[in-house]
Amino acid sequence: MSIATPPVSFNKVSSTCLKTLKVLKINLGRTKAANDTLHPPSDKLQSDLLLLQEPYIYDSQIKGIPQSWNIFNSISNKAAVIIPSRQLHAALISCKENTVAVKIQAGQQPTTFISAYSSPYSNIQETLLEIQEIISSLPREKIFIGADLNGHNTLRGYSDVDSRGTAIEEFILANNLFINNSSDAPPPFTRNSSKGWPDLSLCTQQMIGEIANWEVLEEPSLSDHHYIEITIDSAVKNCTRYKTRHGNHNIFLKNLKPHVNSLLRAFRNSERKDEKQINTVIKNNTKMCTRTERWAQYLKKLIL
């Protein structure tokens, strides 16, 4: 079915959405040496964003961090989001006792990054509640969480499950989150003969397909935790959008009106209702409807 596209003078904008993001996550163990060592590997790895837990604090500030870096702290300073890249603009979404959340434009849609920490001696429900409140305030949005929650679970390498691990698992299931940790990864925590997998990376369903890589690095950190690098592939092809907010609506409706009845008859009389035809119809009419989502969905309902 060939449909002539009415001439509509909406302003058209073509843009290329943002690149792949490199996220570096680590618990610095409250050690000055680990803070001081952070800058060189982040430069070497070209990290766009850092999710930190337990950084070294002196005089209520994170030390050893270049002044040009953008720093967002939790109230307790036990969690932080740091952005070394000058080309990545962030907005503070939430600052709580043990969590901090910032939103950046990473792809067609913004992504919220949360850093969180819960001591093994604290009530884990307090930190989980803080994260829950942030997630609940951002329904159906892309959210990535880098946390050290100090819970044991066999899903992440431990040989046992403790009460904290059970609470974390229930929290993940209740919020429909996805674990990004590689099941066969080496332990990100090592101290003498001890080892553990307390570091956790989670994301919402909206960005599960963008997690390209999750890796525990061998790069020296001078902390008892290792660096974890997460690659988020949020790059998409050039997209064309139409600025429909700024007028020309009457012209558009006038051009569309003569086609409506014939379109509806063609849809209802169609004998082939396969996915290919549906997509073709939607594609043709999207040109006329200038990417009006509700109209495209309505057309699809009529065909089905």
pLDDT digits 0-9 by tens, 21-51: 999 999 999 999 999 999 999 999 999 999 9
* Per-residue pLDDT, 260: 72
Tens-place pLDDT, residues 135-169: 999 999 999 999 999 998 887 778 888 999 999 99
Tens-place pLDDT, residues 112-125: 999 999 999 999 99
- Phi (first) and psi of residue 248, to 5 degrees: 70, 15
CA triplet 26, 27, 28: central angle to 5 degrees? 105
For the chain, give the mean pLDDT: 82
Could you give all domains of the chain from N- to C-terminal order, each with its CATH number? 20-233 (3.60.10.10), 249-302 (no CATH)
* Per-residue pLDDT, 8: 43
**Exposure string (b/e) for 220-249, b if CB count within 10 Å is 16 or more?**
ebebbbbbbbbebebeeeeeeebebeeebe
Q: By percentage, how much of the chain surpasses pLDDT 90?
A: 55
Q: Which residue has the higher pLDDT, 113 or 285?
A: 113
CA 18/CA 24 separation, integer angstroms: 18
Whole-number CA gyration radius for the chain: 24
What secondary structure does DSSP assign to 99-140, as a single string?
EEEEEEE-SSSEEEEEEEE--TTS-HHHHHHHHHHHHHTSTT
The answer to whether the pTM exceeds 0.85 is no
Here the tokens at position 163 are 């009460």
